[in-house]
Amino acid sequence: MPNPHPNEDGRLWAQLRFAAWLSIAVHGIAGLAMALILRHGLVGNSDVLQRLQFITENRGSWIGAWLTWNVAALSILYFYAAFARAHRSDGQSSCGVMDFAVLVSVAAVAVDLAAEAIEIGVLPGLALEVLMDDTKQASDASLQMFLVVDRIAVMMTGFLANGLYTVAAVLLVWSSMHAYPKWIWTAGFAVGLSGCGLSVAALLDSVPGMIWSNVALLPCLLIWQLGVAVTAGRRR
């Protein structure tokens, strides 16, 4: 049966193409911010004193880098929502599953932004307090507080938010396999696999696991989105 609204379908696929390219660009910038700035103040840096000094001495850069990840979270939500809308129009995808995936991603973004708010608004003050305390006892107590709050933020973003993003991605990929070549949905499932790895590593507090799963996750995400962007461009 001919589609009664071809122009509307074309608009939805054009929107998906734009959302995919936007997310690719934003995640590329956020990835650079992680590699060049944030890694110095994160748990991957085993020198705690160096972490504290970096965060306090580079507070503007620290905040700016985290803001790129705020935008990345919003861009992935926009991408997921555009993905669901475009595939709803093709009549072959499981709309209920895709709608549920979008709701899961909304929850993921809420948790992610909350965790990153802690990184931006709480940790710099705690880091400064550790460095400013006059006595060893006070400094040790402040350091313990810093490490606890930091661990909470890691669990929120690395375990819970990332886990929800991963569930949403797998549901979207599974529901749309018919629409893409094998290399694209394989990259999508690789996002799910590496995302699961990151969540497990965050739960177990495995620093090497978090580093290497992130190294795998970002390229897989960009490849999947690139494939979606190219496919959506052909369907406009």
The token pair at 169 is 């991605």
pLDDT at 50 over 70: yes
Q: Are 52 and 108 in contact (CB under 8 A)?
A: no
Stretch 51-57: mean pLDDT: 95
Question: What's the rounded Cα separation, in Å, for the pair 111 and 100?
Answer: 17
Q: Residue 198 has what pLDDT?
A: 96
Question: What's the rounded Cα separation, in Å, for the pair 31 and 214?
Answer: 10
Beta strands in 8-123 (DSSP E): none
Q: Are 210 and 158 in contact (CB under 8 A)?
A: yes
CA 107-212-193 angle, to 5 degrees, is 50
Q: What is the mean pLDDT of the chain?
A: 91
pLDDT at 2 over 90: no
Stretch 122-135: mean pLDDT: 87
Helix (H, G, I), strand (E, B) or coil at 196: helix
Q: Residue 96 has what pLDDT?
A: 85
Helix (H, G, I), strand (E, B) or coil at 5: coil
Quote the pTM value: 0.90
According to DSSP H, which parts of 37-161 are helical?
48-57, 59-88, 95-121, 123-132, 136-154
Crossing angle of helices 207-235 and 6-36, rounded to 10°: 150
DSSP state of 44: T
Confidence of residue 138 (pLDDT cuts 50, 70, 90): low
Q: Are 33 and 65 in contact (CB under 8 A)?
A: yes
Helices (H) and strands (E) in the chain, counts: 9, 0
